[in-house]
Structure 1
Amino acid sequence: MFQTEEVLLCGTMKQSCMHYIEFYKSAEKYKITILTDCSTIVDDISSSHDTTLHNLLHRISHTSSQQVI
C-alpha cells in the first residue's frame, strides 16, 4: 500500500493550503514543497501569506517543477 510522504503545493491560492498546514497537527508528518514556477498568491493577502510562510520556514522547501519531474 502507498503512503503519502510529501505534499507539492502549486496554484493561485497556495496561501490557503499553507494556512492549514501551519495550524493542523495532522499535517506535520508531511514534507511540504512549494513548486515556485507553478505558484502565486493574490496580492491583497500577501502580508498574511508572508507571516504564514515565515512560520513554516522550518518545514517548507522550494523547488521548480522541472526538478520534481
Structure 2
Amino acid sequence: LDWNTYRVKEMKGRRQRLVVHFDRLKPYHGSRQPWEGQQKPREKRKTQRPPWMRDFIPDPGDEHGTCS
C-alpha cells in the first residue's frame, strides 16, 4: 500500500477487507481489478516447425512419418 492508502481491517457485513483512499471518499482499486483502457494480454504465439526441419523430425499427425 502507498502513503495515501490504508487497509480497513474489519468491517461489519463484509467478508473481504476493504482498502480505501486516504480521503475515505473513494475505494482503492488494486492492480488485480481491470480498469478502463487496460490492454488485453497478448495471445500465445503459434509456433510452427520450419519447412527444412520437417525432413528430420516426423510429424505425429502425419500418416507417412515412419518407415515399416
More helix by percentage: 1
* TM score, norm. by length of structure 1: 0.20
Structure having the higher strand fraction is 1
Could you tell me the TM-score, scaled by structure 2's length?
0.20
Q: Which has the higher contact order (CA 8 A, sep 6+)?
A: 1
Flag the structure with larger Rg: 2
